[in-house]
Every structure is written in structure tokens, then in C-alpha cells.
Chains A and B, each alone.
Chain A
């Protein structure tokens, strides 16, 4: 079992961050919320629907109201930027082509990439690809967007742009954003509320300013990026001396 007893709720119009070191169960949490995994016990409600009892068709129905930004965008490499953003519209609606075009250009304009509509994903920088992916995930106007490490591997400018976009889209479209990340500095700037997860449980929660001032050892170590603390620098091992064959332990 990866997660045990997580109690987490998100309100509309908020950007919520879920933080924790690698392997703490953040990705599992996203998979649970998106219906890719089923919880063994507990209650899981997304947009008012109980996910535990849903069948495949129900999960797909729910996902139409859900957007997800993958870590590296996961754009379809055989399609242009335009077709990527148009993909959910073409798959799920019967809109006439000129209306699809208008909606795609609207979304691309919102992320500042209307001019890149005819480019292929291989011609985009990392930050641009993530902005296109963001435009694609809001194409069907979802109520909730999940972000899997949206800040990973970006330069400082792209980092600021993505952070800003997440905040702005959440405010203007009135949606809920759930950001799974370990980038403390960038995310504390834009989020409303933070949950810290460690070893499958929530160890701390609060507003960004509360967490910055937090005295909880794990949170302090994480926020200030210290090498030593409750999370040890060393991977568990027998004593160094014993390993080198010097004396008994």
C-alpha cells in the first residue's frame, strides 16, 4: 500500500499543491483521482461523483470533465500543435470545423502560442510544449485540472510563465487546480493551499506563508532544501566500518 489515510479536499477556484519527496505517493494520488487506480478502501469523490463504484464508462464520462497536464506534456508527435489542441474537441464533440478552429485559436491565444499553431511538437521548446499541453487540457473546459510535476526541467523564465498560467487559468476559468510538485519556491508563489505528503500520509498542510514559517522538521527541511533532517541523505545500509571490514559492530 502506498497511501494510507489521506484526507484531502479541494474547493473550486483554488490552486492546491501536493508536495513531497520523490516516491512519496504523489503520482499514485493523481492516478486515484483520475480513476486509473481504484482505492482499496475509503471514499473518493471527484466533482460530486463517487469514483469507487464507477465502471469504465463512468470513469471515461468523468474524465471529460477533467484535464491533466503530464510531466513532459505528452503531446501527440504526429500532429501539429493545432491538431493536438483540437484532438479532444474532435473526439468528443460534433462541432463544425470552423468552430473547432475558433476554439483552438482561443485556447492557444490564452497560452500565447497562437503563432505556433502549425508547428510540430518536435519544433517546440520544453516550456512551449507544456503550454500547448495546457491548452489541450483546458480544451473541453474542465472543472478540475491535475498537473503532474508541471515545473520539472524548465528554465527559470519558462518556470515563471507556467506558474503564472496555472494561476491565471484557474482564476479566469473558475476551475480547480491540483498541482503535484516538488518545486517549493515556484509553487509557493502561486498556490492557495499546500499538502505535504511523506510515506503515504499527510504530514502538514496550510497556506504558503504558514508553511514557510513551519517548525515541523520535515516541512522545514523540504521548504529550505536541507540535505540533513528527518529525510536522511544516506540510503539505509549496514555500518560503513563493517562494510569496509574494519572491526565488528
Chain B
């Protein structure tokens, strides 16, 4: 009995220490990435290449998902608003839900599984095939040459993708609400315009997507860089990237929403 308790306590303690230790290493890695960003900014084509692979290549999934989420919002919103006779407010509902919450959050979740997993797998495999070691042997710092450009490329892509998601969602809501169901077009757009505030709603959404972008990217980069150089290690790291960054996005979203919309 006593033995079982000590064993459990010991396991709990070692897990806590390990988790804290990993978080410390990840934080150090984040600092190192920022510190070694000079090369990336001196050679913008390195960042551009990453914007292409994380941003442009994620466009299809973002655009299609955004459209469908907006269409569903249009359908569901109309059903509810109609019972109160205020279906003209559909524009507000669709726009505010997307710009404040769904745009940044769902885009970030998609980004984590599309681009985050790719980043982890690529860096993990570069490590496993000694490409990072070879770079270091050529006196080129892999953090400056590989990690930092990926970081900035993804951090720049993320808010743009979230904006694209929201825009497509609003268009989807318009398609269902106005074109399909027949909500008055004028009030759909004018009410939306009147109710959505640039600073309160749009900017807060942008801030959220930047924060999510940083969180997802640094988790993906760290998991890849820290992965054991084996097939199993890389596969586990990729899974961990998607799980950890999804949880981080949702937790951060709660915190950010609590701070941003206190007075609303």
C-alpha cells in the first residue's frame, strides 16, 4: 500500500519535472530562434520560400473549409434568427462569429494539421538523415538557416490565412442567406458594416491569429528539432505537434477572449 503510493508520487514527480524541463528547453529554443533571425531577414527569399510552402499550399484547405463553415453558419443562423423575426441580422451573426472566433481558431487548427505537421516531419527527417549535422559541419547554423525562416514564414502566413478563412466564410454565409434563402441583401451587408468594429473585432481577430501562428509554429519546429532521429521518433513528434498545438490554440483562445472582450 505504502509502496504503491510512493511509486505513484515518484512517477508523478518525474513526469512533472520532465514536462517542466521540456518546456524550458522549448522556451530556450524559441529565444534562440528569435536571436538567430538576422540571416532570414537579410535574405528575404528564404522566408518567401517558406511562405509558399506553409501559406500558399495551405490555401485550398483554408478556402474550402471557410466556405463551408460560412454556409453552415448561414443555415443555422437563419433558423434561429427567423424565430425572432430578425433574419436581417444574419450578416452580423456570420461576420462576428467568423472574425472574432471561428476565423482565427479554425484556421489555426487547420494550419496546425496541414502546415505544422509538415514542418515537424521535414525538420525531424532532416535531423534523422544527418542533413542538419552536415549543415553544422559546413559552419552554417541550422537554427538560422532552416528554423528561423520557417518560423517567420509561418508566422506571416497564419494571419493571412485566417483573414482568407473569414472572408470566404462571410461569402459562404452570403451565398446561403441571401442567394439561396432570400434574406434582403441590403440589410445583410449594411447591418454587418454597422456592427463590426475594425479595432474591437477585426484587430482582435488578427491579434489572435498572430498569437496562434507563433504558438503552432514554435511547437512544430521544436518537436521536429527535438525528435529522436528514427522513423518512430519522427512519427510520434508529428502526432504530438498536432495534439499539443490544437490544445494550445483552444486554451490560448479562451485566455485571449477573456482579456479582449471583458467589456463587451
Contacts and interface: CB of A to CB of B under 8 A. Distances in A.
Given A68-B134, A70-B134, A60 B139 contact: yes
A63 interface: yes
A93 to B, nearest CB: 12
B131 A91 contact: no
A63 B138 contact: yes
B132 to A, nearest CB: 9
A157 to B, nearest CB: 24
Interface in B130-145: 130-131, 133-141, 145
Interface residues of A, number: 20
Given A74-B131, A76-B131, A77-B131, A66 B137 contact: yes
6 contacts: A68-B134, A70-B137, A72-B129, A72-B130, A91-B140, A133-B134
Contacts of A63: 136-139
A91 B134 contact: no
A36 B140 CA distance: 13
Contacts of B134: 68, 70, 74-76, 133
Interface string A48-81: 0000000000001101101010111011110000
B129 A88 contact: no
Interface residues of B, number: 14
Contacts of A88: 138, 140
B123 to A, nearest CB: 12
A72 B130 CA distance: 9
A92 interface: yes
Contacts of A87: 138, 140
A177 to B, nearest CB: 15
B137 A68 contact: yes
A97 B145 CA distance: 20
A68 B139 CA distance: 11
A66 B135 CA distance: 12
Interface in A22-48: 34, 36
Contacts of B129: 72, 74, 77
A74 B140 contact: no
A133 B137 CA distance: 12
A74 B129 CA distance: 6
